[in-house]
Amino acid sequence: MSEPSATLKKTPLHDVHVAAGAKMVPFAGWNMPIEYSGLVTEHNAVRTSAGLFDVSHMGEIEIRGKAALALVQKVTTNNAAKLSIHQAHYSALVYPEGTFVDDLLVYRLTENHFFLCVNASNTDKDYEYIRSHAAGDAEVSNTSELYAQIAVQGPKAIPILQQMTAFDLGAIKYYWFHRLDLEGESVIAARTGYTGEDGFEIFCAPAAAVHLWSRIREVGGDQITMTGLGARDTLRLEAKMVLYGNDIDENTTVLEADLEWILKWEKGDFIARKALLKQKENGIDRKLAGFEIIERGIARHGHEAYIEEKRAGVVTSGTFAPFLKKAIGLVYLPVEYSVVGQGFEVDVRGKRLRARVVPTPFYRRPR
């Protein structure tokens, strides 16, 4: 059952979305726009021009103090010690078993101040989990109410935003960020995103969100398209960016999710090191693989995969990819069957559709 609209949280841009005619839906406890002009139109606008997203539902957690780095290193898998000030990376917040509390972005604001962007539905859980492992001089704060977040993604994202600031946005490298003035508002502008395109994610004060959103639309004109969560999901899938609750959760490990690249063994001990090292040595039983359907039809989350008439796994994400114009998805398969070229079948409402494992990401933006 969906939550009653009266109990849903609203972002500072809620009224703007309603006025623009957005289709609003419950998502992670928030009332969010799923589409404005249509999913396919919005998706392709991001691939070819620029899209404007409200992602203010995302959570923000800050860790300060001389023991801040030690705490980040303990509870996440990537090596935060290698982050320079103004640099970010993708990481996993993990249980001792090596499974996901959440996936997140870690930003290093200063030597002893880290800023974490986490999934909306997990914010409170993540905060309590991190706080439970804090020791020494490490202050953990859930600062989500202090931030709205706007994403501008696509090949024309930076030319549009550059008209709004004197700061040279092109000087900010991919997965780096800077605090700067954007149309008179102090923001953190991070060259990150969840679409597979270039662009920025902008953290601002909630009171500044409507002003910035309006100005980005004015400056971008017909080159920028308001984009909802529907296209955000199809964009991230084309780029093989996983979604917590679909592709990863407390029952999947970092190795099974094909994310060993965010496991930095050389950094020393961390909360799941022993379990994940043991799993690596013993070998995983299943692995997340990308696939495409090779006949007419679309596989969706929850559809079962079969190999030689035996149930082999479950589709975690699936859609018709608007830019690639084919049906794609992610599925956990026995590791020996997760290799590129492997054929299998997906049961879609009683009909078996032929599929095959393909290289990922499905889409790579032109460099």
Tens digit of each residue's pLDDT (9 = 90 or more) over 318-363:
999 999 999 999 999 999 999 999 999 999 999 999 999 999 999 9
Instruction: For helices 123-132 and 68-75, give the axis angle rounded to 10 degrees.
Output: 110
Q: Which residue has the tokens 């190795």?
A: 255
Domain layout of the chain by residue ranges: 5-56+147-238, 59-145
Say what the pLDDT of residue 5 is: 65
Q: How far apart are CA 259 and CA 346, in angstroms?
A: 24
Q: How far apart are CA 35 and CA 359, in angstroms?
A: 29
Out of 3.40.50.720, 3.30.1360.120, 3.40.50.2300, 1.50.10.10, which CATH number does the structure's domain 5-56+147-238 have?
Answer: 3.30.1360.120
297, pLDDT greater than 70: yes
**Considering only CA atoms, which of 105, 124, 249 is closest in space to residue 132?**
124
Q: How far apart are CA 224 and CA 286, in angstroms?
A: 41
Say what the pLDDT of residue 2 is: 47
133, pLDDT greater than 90: yes
Cβ contacts of 98 within 8 Å, gap of 6 or more: 253, 254, 255, 272, 275, 276, 279
**Considering only CA atoms, which of 183, 130, 156 is closest in space to residue 51?**
156
For residue 114, give both structure tokens.
Answer: 């880290």
Q: Identify the band that residue 136 occupies on the pLDDT scale cut at 50, 70 and 90.
A: very high
Tens digit of each residue's pLDDT (9 = 90 or more) over 76-107:
999 999 999 999 999 999 999 999 999 999 99
Residue type, 32: M
Say what the pLDDT of residue 286 is: 98
Q: How far apart are CA 76 and CA 136, in angstroms?
A: 18
212, pLDDT greater than 90: yes
Q: How far apart are CA 19 and CA 116, in angstroms?
A: 32
Residue type, 274: K
From residue 325, give the alpha-carbon distance in Å to each of 153, 200, 292, 344, 363: 20, 26, 11, 21, 11
Contact 147, 201 (CB under 8 A): no
- Is 213 strand, coil or helix? helix
**Considering only CA atoms, which of 279, 287, 339, 342 is closest in space to residue 313?**
287
Contact 347, 310 (CB under 8 A): no
123, pLDDT greater than 70: yes
Residue type, 82: K
Mean pLDDT, rounded, for 120-134: 98
- Is 25 strand, coil or helix? strand
What residues pair up with 307 in beta bridges, in sequence order? 310
What residues pair up with 251 in beta bridges, in sequence order? none
3, pLDDT greater than 60: no
Of the chain, the percentage scoring pLDDT greater than 70 comes to 98
Residue type, 13: L
Q: Identify the band that residue 367 occupies on the pLDDT scale cut at 50, 70 and 90.
A: confident
Tens digit of each residue's pLDDT (9 = 90 or more) over 216-253:
999 999 999 999 999 999 999 999 999 999 999 999 99
CATH 3.30.70.1400 fits 59-145, yes or no: yes
Burial label for 309, CB within 10 Å (0-12, 13-18, 19+), is exposed
Task: Provide the sign of the torsion angle of the four alpha carbons 331, 320, 201, 118, taken in this order.
Answer: negative
Q: Identify the band that residue 4 occupies on the pLDDT scale cut at 50, 70 and 90.
A: low
Q: What's the mean per-residue pLDDT of the chain?
A: 97
